[in-house]
Structure 1
Amino acid sequence: MNKKSVYTKEAPEAIGPYSQAVVVNGVVYTSGQLGLDPNTVEMADGVVNQTHQVLKNVQAVLKEAGSDLNEVVKATIFLNDMNDFSQVNEVYASYFEKPYPSRSAIEVSRLPKDALVEVEVIALEKDNQ
Protein backbone atom coordinates (compact mmCIF):
# COMPACT_ATOMS: atom_id res chain seq x y z
CA MET A 1 0.00 0.00 0.00
CA ASN A 2 1.28 3.43 -0.96
CA LYS A 3 -0.05 5.87 1.69
CA LYS A 4 0.90 9.52 2.16
CA SER A 5 -0.41 12.34 4.32
CA VAL A 6 -1.41 15.67 2.77
CA TYR A 7 -0.82 19.07 4.38
CA THR A 8 -1.33 22.60 3.05
CA LYS A 9 -1.29 25.99 4.76
CA GLU A 10 -4.06 26.98 2.33
CA ALA A 11 -6.60 25.07 4.47
CA PRO A 12 -7.09 25.07 8.24
CA GLU A 13 -4.74 22.85 10.19
CA ALA A 14 -6.19 19.67 11.65
CA ILE A 15 -7.71 20.26 15.08
CA GLY A 16 -6.89 16.74 16.23
CA PRO A 17 -4.70 13.73 15.49
CA TYR A 18 -5.57 13.38 11.81
CA SER A 19 -4.37 14.50 8.38
CA GLN A 20 -6.10 17.03 6.14
CA ALA A 21 -6.15 14.19 3.63
CA VAL A 22 -4.52 10.85 2.95
CA VAL A 23 -3.67 9.53 -0.50
CA VAL A 24 -3.69 5.75 -0.93
CA ASN A 25 -2.94 4.14 -4.28
CA GLY A 26 -4.06 7.20 -6.24
CA VAL A 27 -7.22 7.88 -4.24
CA VAL A 28 -7.53 11.03 -2.10
CA TYR A 29 -9.56 10.81 1.12
CA THR A 30 -10.06 14.22 2.71
CA SER A 31 -10.93 14.80 6.31
CA GLY A 32 -14.05 16.83 6.92
CA GLN A 33 -13.45 20.50 6.20
CA LEU A 34 -15.12 23.28 8.15
CA GLY A 35 -15.80 26.89 7.24
CA LEU A 36 -12.66 28.14 8.97
CA ASP A 37 -10.55 30.73 7.19
CA PRO A 38 -7.02 29.25 7.16
CA ASN A 39 -5.43 32.68 7.69
CA THR A 40 -7.51 33.90 10.61
CA VAL A 41 -8.82 30.54 11.91
CA GLU A 42 -12.17 32.28 12.27
CA MET A 43 -15.44 30.63 11.26
CA ALA A 44 -17.26 32.26 8.36
CA ASP A 45 -20.63 33.82 9.21
CA GLY A 46 -23.76 31.92 8.25
CA VAL A 47 -24.29 28.70 6.37
CA VAL A 48 -23.79 30.17 2.87
CA ASN A 49 -20.43 31.74 3.71
CA GLN A 50 -19.37 28.65 5.65
CA THR A 51 -20.22 26.44 2.68
CA HIS A 52 -18.14 28.60 0.34
CA GLN A 53 -15.20 28.47 2.78
CA VAL A 54 -15.61 24.72 3.28
CA LEU A 55 -15.40 24.10 -0.46
CA LYS A 56 -12.42 26.46 -0.84
CA ASN A 57 -10.70 24.46 1.90
CA VAL A 58 -11.56 21.19 0.13
CA GLN A 59 -10.15 22.64 -3.11
CA ALA A 60 -6.90 23.61 -1.36
CA VAL A 61 -6.44 20.16 0.15
CA LEU A 62 -7.21 18.45 -3.16
CA LYS A 63 -4.76 20.71 -5.00
CA GLU A 64 -2.00 19.80 -2.56
CA ALA A 65 -2.87 16.13 -3.09
CA GLY A 66 -2.60 16.44 -6.89
CA SER A 67 -6.33 16.51 -7.54
CA ASP A 68 -9.23 18.94 -7.88
CA LEU A 69 -13.00 19.11 -7.61
CA ASN A 70 -13.43 17.58 -11.08
CA GLU A 71 -11.85 14.38 -9.75
CA VAL A 72 -14.24 14.01 -6.80
CA VAL A 73 -16.19 10.75 -6.98
CA LYS A 74 -17.99 10.93 -3.61
CA ALA A 75 -18.89 13.79 -1.28
CA THR A 76 -20.43 13.67 2.16
CA ILE A 77 -22.08 16.77 3.60
CA PHE A 78 -22.77 17.04 7.30
CA LEU A 79 -25.36 19.68 8.24
CA ASN A 80 -26.19 21.03 11.67
CA ASP A 81 -29.73 21.71 10.39
CA MET A 82 -31.30 20.00 7.37
CA ASN A 83 -33.36 23.17 6.83
CA ASP A 84 -30.11 24.64 5.44
CA PHE A 85 -29.97 21.96 2.72
CA SER A 86 -31.24 24.12 -0.16
CA GLN A 87 -28.77 26.94 0.58
CA VAL A 88 -25.86 24.51 0.91
CA ASN A 89 -26.97 22.69 -2.24
CA GLU A 90 -27.01 25.93 -4.23
CA VAL A 91 -23.45 26.82 -3.18
CA TYR A 92 -22.28 23.24 -3.70
CA ALA A 93 -23.69 23.21 -7.25
CA SER A 94 -21.60 26.28 -8.14
CA TYR A 95 -18.36 24.35 -7.41
CA PHE A 96 -19.04 21.12 -9.30
CA GLU A 97 -19.64 20.23 -12.94
CA LYS A 98 -21.40 17.31 -14.60
CA PRO A 99 -20.99 14.47 -14.17
CA TYR A 100 -21.54 15.30 -10.51
CA PRO A 101 -19.99 13.10 -7.84
CA SER A 102 -22.20 10.83 -5.80
CA ARG A 103 -23.17 12.46 -2.54
CA SER A 104 -24.78 12.02 0.85
CA ALA A 105 -26.16 14.75 3.10
CA ILE A 106 -26.58 13.98 6.77
CA GLU A 107 -28.01 16.08 9.60
CA VAL A 108 -25.96 15.79 12.78
CA SER A 109 -26.61 17.15 16.24
CA ARG A 110 -23.34 19.07 16.44
CA LEU A 111 -20.17 19.70 14.44
CA PRO A 112 -16.68 20.66 15.63
CA LYS A 113 -16.31 24.36 16.50
CA ASP A 114 -20.13 24.57 16.28
CA ALA A 115 -19.88 24.71 12.49
CA LEU A 116 -23.07 24.68 10.45
CA VAL A 117 -21.65 22.53 7.62
CA GLU A 118 -18.76 20.13 7.05
CA VAL A 119 -17.75 18.36 3.84
CA GLU A 120 -15.45 15.41 3.17
CA VAL A 121 -14.68 13.99 -0.26
CA ILE A 122 -13.06 11.07 -2.01
CA ALA A 123 -11.25 11.96 -5.23
CA LEU A 124 -8.77 10.53 -7.71
CA GLU A 125 -5.29 11.93 -8.19
CA LYS A 126 -5.06 13.52 -11.63
CA ASP A 127 -2.02 11.48 -12.71
CA ASN A 128 -3.49 8.13 -11.64
CA GLN A 129 -6.38 7.78 -14.09
Structure 2
Amino acid sequence: MLFEASGQTIRIVRLAGVPPDVPLAASVPLDADGFDRIEGIDRLLRALLGRAVPGDRRLTPQQKRRQRHMLQATDGRMAGATYRDIAGVIFGVDRVASEHWKTSALRDATTALVKDGLAMIAGGYRALLRHRRHP
Protein backbone atom coordinates (compact mmCIF):
# COMPACT_ATOMS: atom_id res chain seq x y z
CA MET A 1 0.00 0.00 0.00
CA LEU A 2 1.41 3.42 -0.95
CA PHE A 3 0.65 6.74 0.74
CA GLU A 4 1.63 10.20 -0.45
CA ALA A 5 2.75 12.42 2.42
CA SER A 6 4.72 15.65 2.33
CA GLY A 7 5.80 15.00 -1.23
CA GLN A 8 7.16 11.56 -0.39
CA THR A 9 5.78 8.14 -1.11
CA ILE A 10 5.52 5.91 1.95
CA ARG A 11 5.10 2.16 1.54
CA ILE A 12 3.00 0.51 4.25
CA VAL A 13 2.73 -3.26 4.53
CA ARG A 14 -0.64 -4.63 5.55
CA LEU A 15 -0.67 -8.06 7.18
CA ALA A 16 -2.15 -10.86 5.10
CA GLY A 17 -5.84 -11.39 5.71
CA VAL A 18 -6.49 -7.91 7.12
CA PRO A 19 -9.33 -6.24 5.17
CA PRO A 20 -8.49 -2.86 3.61
CA ASP A 21 -11.19 -1.03 5.61
CA VAL A 22 -9.56 -1.94 8.95
CA PRO A 23 -7.43 0.92 10.31
CA LEU A 24 -3.70 0.36 10.34
CA ALA A 25 -1.95 -0.37 13.61
CA ALA A 26 1.61 0.08 14.82
CA SER A 27 3.33 -2.33 17.16
CA VAL A 28 5.95 -0.72 19.41
CA PRO A 29 8.41 -2.82 21.39
CA LEU A 30 8.66 -1.47 24.93
CA ASP A 31 12.41 -1.22 25.21
CA ALA A 32 15.02 1.53 25.56
CA ASP A 33 14.28 2.74 22.01
CA GLY A 34 10.50 2.83 22.55
CA PHE A 35 10.33 6.63 22.85
CA ASP A 36 12.21 7.01 19.56
CA ARG A 37 9.80 4.61 17.88
CA ILE A 38 6.75 6.40 19.30
CA GLU A 39 8.09 9.72 18.05
CA GLY A 40 8.62 8.17 14.62
CA ILE A 41 5.06 6.87 14.57
CA ASP A 42 3.77 10.29 15.63
CA ARG A 43 5.68 11.95 12.77
CA LEU A 44 4.46 9.31 10.30
CA LEU A 45 0.82 9.69 11.37
CA ARG A 46 1.05 13.48 11.09
CA ALA A 47 2.46 13.16 7.57
CA LEU A 48 -0.18 10.61 6.53
CA LEU A 49 -2.99 12.84 7.82
CA GLY A 50 -1.56 15.94 6.15
CA ARG A 51 -0.77 17.69 9.42
CA ALA A 52 2.35 19.71 10.12
CA VAL A 53 5.33 17.57 11.05
CA PRO A 54 7.44 19.39 13.64
CA GLY A 55 11.11 19.88 12.93
CA ASP A 56 13.58 17.55 14.57
CA ARG A 57 14.86 19.25 17.74
CA ARG A 58 17.27 16.57 18.88
CA LEU A 59 20.28 18.53 17.64
CA THR A 60 21.05 22.17 18.31
CA PRO A 61 22.09 24.36 15.36
CA GLN A 62 25.69 24.14 16.60
CA GLN A 63 25.54 20.34 16.69
CA LYS A 64 24.07 20.24 13.19
CA ARG A 65 26.87 22.49 11.92
CA ARG A 66 29.50 20.26 13.54
CA GLN A 67 27.92 17.14 12.03
CA ARG A 68 28.05 18.79 8.60
CA HIS A 69 31.69 19.80 9.13
CA MET A 70 32.53 16.25 10.26
CA LEU A 71 31.17 14.82 7.04
CA GLN A 72 32.83 17.52 4.92
CA ALA A 73 36.18 16.90 6.61
CA THR A 74 35.92 13.13 6.30
CA ASP A 75 34.82 13.35 2.68
CA GLY A 76 37.76 15.63 1.91
CA ARG A 77 40.23 13.38 3.68
CA MET A 78 38.92 10.28 1.91
CA ALA A 79 39.32 12.16 -1.39
CA GLY A 80 43.00 12.82 -0.58
CA ALA A 81 42.86 16.37 0.75
CA THR A 82 45.36 17.46 3.39
CA TYR A 83 44.19 18.53 6.82
CA ARG A 84 45.30 22.06 5.99
CA ASP A 85 43.22 22.08 2.79
CA ILE A 86 40.22 20.79 4.72
CA ALA A 87 40.68 23.46 7.39
CA GLY A 88 40.79 26.10 4.67
CA VAL A 89 37.43 24.99 3.32
CA ILE A 90 35.76 24.74 6.72
CA PHE A 91 37.33 27.67 8.60
CA GLY A 92 38.47 29.88 5.73
CA VAL A 93 41.83 30.07 3.96
CA ASP A 94 42.73 33.45 5.49
CA ARG A 95 42.06 32.26 9.03
CA VAL A 96 44.17 29.12 8.50
CA ALA A 97 47.01 31.14 6.95
CA SER A 98 47.03 33.57 9.90
CA GLU A 99 48.28 30.88 12.32
CA HIS A 100 51.35 28.66 12.43
CA TRP A 101 49.88 25.36 11.22
CA LYS A 102 51.87 22.95 13.42
CA THR A 103 50.60 24.55 16.64
CA SER A 104 47.23 25.79 15.35
CA ALA A 105 44.03 25.01 17.21
CA LEU A 106 42.41 24.77 13.76
CA ARG A 107 44.73 21.84 12.97
CA ASP A 108 43.58 20.03 16.10
CA ALA A 109 39.93 20.84 15.35
CA THR A 110 40.28 19.54 11.79
CA THR A 111 41.86 16.24 12.82
CA ALA A 112 39.12 15.82 15.45
CA LEU A 113 36.44 16.47 12.81
CA VAL A 114 37.92 13.78 10.56
CA LYS A 115 38.29 11.30 13.43
CA ASP A 116 34.71 11.89 14.62
CA GLY A 117 33.40 11.78 11.05
CA LEU A 118 35.01 8.39 10.51
CA ALA A 119 33.44 7.18 13.76
CA MET A 120 30.03 8.44 12.59
CA ILE A 121 30.42 6.63 9.26
CA ALA A 122 31.41 3.45 11.13
CA GLY A 123 28.02 3.39 12.88
CA GLY A 124 28.11 6.28 15.34
CA TYR A 125 25.38 8.05 13.34
CA ARG A 126 22.86 5.81 15.10
CA ALA A 127 23.29 7.92 18.23
CA LEU A 128 21.80 10.86 16.30
CA LEU A 129 18.57 8.95 15.90
CA ARG A 130 18.09 8.24 19.58
CA HIS A 131 16.59 10.38 22.29
CA ARG A 132 18.97 11.73 24.86
CA ARG A 133 18.71 9.43 27.83
CA HIS A 134 18.54 10.69 31.38
CA PRO A 135 20.31 8.45 33.90
Query: What is the TM-score when the length of structure 1 is the normalising length?
Result: 0.23
Query: What is the TM-score when the length of structure 2 is the normalising length?
Result: 0.23
Q: Which has the higher strand share?
A: 1
Q: Which has the higher helix share?
A: 2
